[in-house]
Amino acid sequence: MSAPTTTAPAGAAYDAAAVRAEFPLLSGGAQLPDGAPLVYLDSAATSQRPRAVLDAERSFLETTNSAVHRGAHSLAAEATELFEGARETVAAFVGAQPEQLVWTSGATAGLNLVAYSLGNAAAGRTVPGHEDAVRQWAPGPGDEIVVTEAEHHANLVPWQELAARTGARLRAVPVHDDGVLDLEAAAAVIGERTRVVAFSHVSNVLGVVNPVEQLVAMTREATGGRALTVLDACQSAPHLALDLPALGVDVAVFSGHKVLGPNGVGCLYGRTEVLEALPPFLLGGSMVTTVTLEATAFLPPPQRFEAGTQAVSQAVGLAAAVDFLRGVEERFGEGAVAEHERRLERRLRHGLREVPGVRLLGDADGVDDGTVQRVALQAFDVEGVHAHDVGQLLDARGVAVRVGHHCAQPLHRRFGVTASVRASAALYTTEDDVDTFLDALSGVRAYFGVGR
C-alpha cells in the first residue's frame, strides 16, 4: 500500500495544507469559478480520499481484479492475498484480530446484520454448540433493547424492527442540554431484562464523545453480562485512536467512506465468542461448507457473514486509507493529527458562538470546562433562517456543509428543531477553512433580512 508523499520530517509541526495536497479533489479538482479552493466541511458525511487510496483501488482493478477465495489460478490467489491482507491491516487499525473483522457494505449493513442475526436466534435459528450463548442476547417478549436519544437512524431503526419482531420493548437513554448522555438515567434504564445496549461512540450531530467503557461496565453489572453491547464507531474511527477490544464492546461498526476510504465497504468488529455464536444473516455462496437439498452447514466467522461477492477493490482501498493515516502520524508524530483536530474543534465552536443568532445544538450555557470531549463536528441553528437556505448561501461562497436532520430526527426534536446546519472537519481541514466558513456564516442573517 502506498504512503502519503508529504515530505515533512518526522515530528515536524503539523501542516494541514501539505496533507490537503494529497487529496486531488481538495487540491485543484474542485474549485470556485474565481479559482479559489473549495472549503469542504462535510467530512462527517463523507470524507475525501487521498491519492494513495485512489491509486490502490485503481491498481487492483487494473492488475489483480479477480474473484477471491474461489479461483485456482494465480490471479485469484493474488487477489485473495490482497483482500485478506486488507482485512489484517484494517483489523489492526482498531486493535482487532483479522478473524474478528467482517467486511460489510457499510456501518448500516453491519448494524442490520447484528439485529437480524439476533432476530434469527430469537426464532430458533442458532449455531450448533452456541445455543445458550446467543439466546442470552436474543430478545423476547418482556425483554428490553436500549438505545440513546442521540442515535443515527442506522443504530435506531434496526432495533425498532427487532423489538417489533420479538415482542421486546425499546427504551432510550436521554441526553442533557449539553449533549452529554444522562448516565443516571442510563443506570435506571439498563436492567436485568436488557438484552442489547446500542450507542454511538461520537454523536454525528453534537460531536460529543460518549464514555464507552463506563457504559459497557454499567451494562455488564446491571445485566450480569447477559446483554450485547453494540457500538457505532462511524464518527470516532476517523478521529480517535481505536482499540475496540480494550473498550470492551461486544460488536462495533464503522464505514470506509468516513475514514478516507471508498464507498461500499465497511466493517463489523465482533468479539470472537460473539461472532461464533451469531447465526448468519445473508445466505448464499462463499459462506458455506456443505450444501444439500435438505440442509446447509456454514463456515466459521468472518466468512459466515460474507455471503456472495465481496467489495474486494474497496477493501484494498480502505486498507490504503489506513496506511495513509498511519503515514501521516509517522511524518508529524504520534498525536499530531488529534491535536490539529482539537484546535479546529475549539476554533469552530468558539467561532460559532460569536456569530449573532447562531445556536449550537447541545451547547447548553456555552462553557467549555474540559469535562466534555468532542471532535471537530458541530450542528447549529440560525435564528430566522431555514437550514437549507443557510446551506445554499454558504455553498454560493464555496463552503460545503451538511443541512437537514442528519439521520437523527429524535435528537433534533430534543433540541426543538426539525433541521440544522452541520460543519465537520478532518485532518485535511485548515484553520483558514474554518475562518472562511465563519466569515460566510456571519453574513447569512443580514442577507435574508433578519436580525437587524
With a cut of 80, say whether residue 129 has pLDDT above it: yes
With a cut of 50, say whether residue 371 has pLDDT above it: yes
- Point out the catalytic residue in the list 282, 288, 299, 407: 407
Q: Which residues contact 397 (CB under 8 A, 6 or more apart)?
A: 436, 440
How would DSSP label each residue in 270-318?
Answer: E-HHHHHHSPPSS-STTSEEEE-SS-EEEPPTTGGG--S---HHHHHHH
Q: Which residues contact 43 (CB under 8 A, 6 or more apart)?
A: 238, 258, 424, 425, 426, 429
How would DSSP label each residue in 218-257?
Answer: HHHHHHTT-SEEEEE-TTTTTTS---HHHHT-SEEEEEGG
Instruction: Using pLDDT thresholds of 50, 70 and 90, give the confidence band for residue 11.
Output: low
> Model confidence over 195-210: pLDDT tens digits?
999 999 999 999 999 9
Q: What average pLDDT score do residues 155-173 get?
A: 98
How would DSSP label each residue in 74-137?
Answer: HHHHHHHHHHHHHHHHHHHHTT--GGGEEEESSHHHHHHHHHHHHHHHHTT---TT-HHHHHTT
Grid coordinates representing 68 are 477471491
Q: Which residues contact 287 (CB under 8 A, 6 or more apart)?
A: 280, 298, 299, 303, 304, 305, 306, 307
> Model confidence over 82-91: pLDDT tens digits?
999 999 999 9
> Model confidence over 294-306: pLDDT tens digits?
999 999 999 999 9
- Cα–Cα distance for residue pair 359/366, rounded to 1 Å: 10
Place of cell 494465480: 74
- Cα–Cα distance for residue pair 288/308, rounded to 1 Å: 11
pLDDT of residue 72: 85
Q: What average pLDDT score do residues 375-383 get?
A: 97
Q: Are 414 and 205 in contact (CB under 8 A)?
A: no
Instruction: Using pLDDT thresholds of 50, 70 and 90, give the confidence band for residue 71.
Output: confident
> What residue ranges do the domains of the chain occupy?
16-49+333-447, 62-321
pLDDT of residue 9: 52
> Model confidence over 294-341: pLDDT tens digits?
999 999 999 999 999 999 999 999 999 999 999 999 999 999 999 999
Beta bridge partners of 173: 148
pLDDT of residue 55: 98
With a cut of 50, say whether residue 4 has pLDDT above it: no
pLDDT of residue 365: 67
pLDDT more than 70, % of the chain:
95
Q: Are 279 and 305 in contact (CB under 8 A)?
A: no
pLDDT of residue 6: 44
With a cut of 80, say whether residue 393 has pLDDT above it: yes
pLDDT of residue 70: 78
Question: What is the architecture of the domain spanning 16-49+333-447?
Answer: Alpha-Beta Complex (3.90)
Place of cell 485535511: 428
> Model confidence over 29-69: pLDDT tens digits?
766 667 778 999 999 999 999 999 999 999 999 999 999 99
pLDDT of residue 368: 73
- Cα–Cα distance for residue pair 125/277, rounded to 1 Å: 11
With a cut of 70, say whether residue 288 has pLDDT above it: yes
pLDDT of residue 370: 73
- Cα–Cα distance for residue pair 201/248, rounded to 1 Å: 13
Q: What average pLDDT score do residues 209-224 get?
A: 97
Question: CATH top-level class for 62-321?
Answer: alpha beta
Domains 16-49+333-447 and 62-321 share a fold: no
Q: What average pLDDT score do residues 120-145 get?
A: 94
Catalytic residue status for 407: yes
